């Protein structure tokens, strides 16, 4: 997330509403150009093409097993969607809302690695203005994008809500928490979450102003599903205090993962990351499913 200019600070406090400008300045930096493209075949199916910048790490046959397509949002944008089928008998399906400055092409190898290690399929989408998605990134568009992805996961792949784990990373926690307030899903993983846009830009902010974008700290109180919070102690983008506060505010949390020495973009490199995800999926999530 980037800092604000002096004019934007003046506008922020003197001339609301400008939350859309503030949100865009803080959060959105789509890869340019995108790291993938999509060709539509005569039968209506789509073929995924990755550029070298996607850093794809697997074979061509695994790439062919990924579904890529588009869907419409309520705000009339067309967003790119990706379904990574890692197993024919998934324990859960992750609805993954990714972070800033990446798109589906760059995330595709990670989706394969993560899903195959925890026996879960992964469904993800690009926000408006990212990858092949049309429109411009904004807070309202992010919520509409996530809602459209939710509908596809339910209608196209017939995944019931109790078999969905919402996984939000960084700015993606905004979309995950918003969905979590609307639907009783199996579980929620919040990876490097932020309390709100203002609290990132101005760490001394103690309350949520009406023009504060991304008010996660207030919304997460309405998420009744089981929540796992993950945060690095040395996060240089979203301070560790945000993860602590989100964990304390969520009403139904499990033991969090605080990764000592980890920053904003390297938590996945620590061994305890995958161990904690596995325990959440294989033990905590399955125990709650069997008891419900």
Instruction: Tell me how far CA of residue 174 lies from CA of 130, 196, 215, 275, in angstroms.
Output: 16, 9, 8, 25
Given a contact cutoff of 8 angstroms between Cβ atoms, the answer to whether 97 and 173 are in contact is yes
Q: Which of 109, 128, 138, 170 is catalytic?
A: 170
Active site residue 225: no
Task: Confirm whether 192 is a catalytic residue.
Answer: no
SS3 27: helix
Pairing of strands 66-72, 257-259: unpaired
Per-residue b/e over 13-32, b at no fewer than 16 CB within 10 Å? eeeeebbbebbbbbbbbbbe
What's the CA gap between 188 and 186, in Å, rounded? 7
Question: Per the residue annotation, which of 235, 239, 242, 247 is the catalytic one?
Answer: 235
Residue 217 phi, psi (nearest 5) = -65, -30
CA gap 53, 214 in Å, rounded? 30
With 0-12 CB in 10 A as exposed, 13-18 as middle and 19+ as buried, what is 127?
buried
Inter-helix orientation angle 139-155/172-182, to 10°: 60
DSSP 226: E
Q: Where are the beta strands (DSSP E) in 145-216?
A: 164-169, 187-191
- Known active-site residue 264: yes
- Catalytic positions, written as ranges: 170, 235, 264
């Amino acid at each position: 997330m980037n800092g604000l200019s002096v004019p934007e600070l003046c506008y922020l406090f003197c001339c609301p509403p400008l939350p859309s400008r503030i949100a865009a300045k803080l959060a959105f930096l789509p890869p340019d150009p995108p790291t993938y493209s999509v060709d539509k075949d005569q039968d209506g199916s789509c073929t995924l093409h990755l550029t070298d910048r996607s850093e794809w790490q697997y074979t061509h046959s695994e790439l062919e097993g990924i579904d890529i397509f588009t869907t419409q949002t309520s705000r009339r944008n067309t967003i790119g969607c990706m379904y990574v089928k890692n197993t024919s008998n998934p324990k859960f399906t992750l609805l993954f809302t990714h972070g800033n400055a990446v798109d589906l092409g760059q995330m595709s190898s990670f989706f394969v690695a993560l899903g195959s290690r925890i026996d879960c399929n992964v469904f993800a989408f690009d926000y408006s203005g990212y990858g092949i998605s049309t429109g411009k990134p904004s807070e309202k568009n992010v919520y509409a994008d996530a809602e459209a992805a939710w509908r596809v996961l339910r209608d196209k792949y017939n995944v019931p809500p109790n078999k969905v784990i919402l996984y939000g990373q960084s700015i993606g926690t905004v979309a995950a928490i918003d969905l979590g307030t609307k639907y009783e899903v199996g579980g929620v993983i919040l990876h490097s979450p932020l309390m709100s846009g203002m609290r990132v830009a101005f760490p001394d902010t103690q309350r949520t102003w009406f023009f504060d974008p991304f008010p996660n700290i207030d919304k997460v109180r309405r998420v009744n599903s089981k929540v796992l919070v993950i945060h690095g102690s040395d996060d240089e983008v979203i301070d560790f205090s945000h993860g602590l506060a989100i964990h304390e505010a969520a009403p139904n949390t499990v033991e969090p993962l605080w990764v000592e020495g980890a920053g904003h973009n390297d938590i996945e490199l620590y061994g305890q990351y995958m161990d904690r995800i596995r325990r959440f999926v294989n033990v905590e999530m399955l125990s709650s499913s069997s008891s419900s």
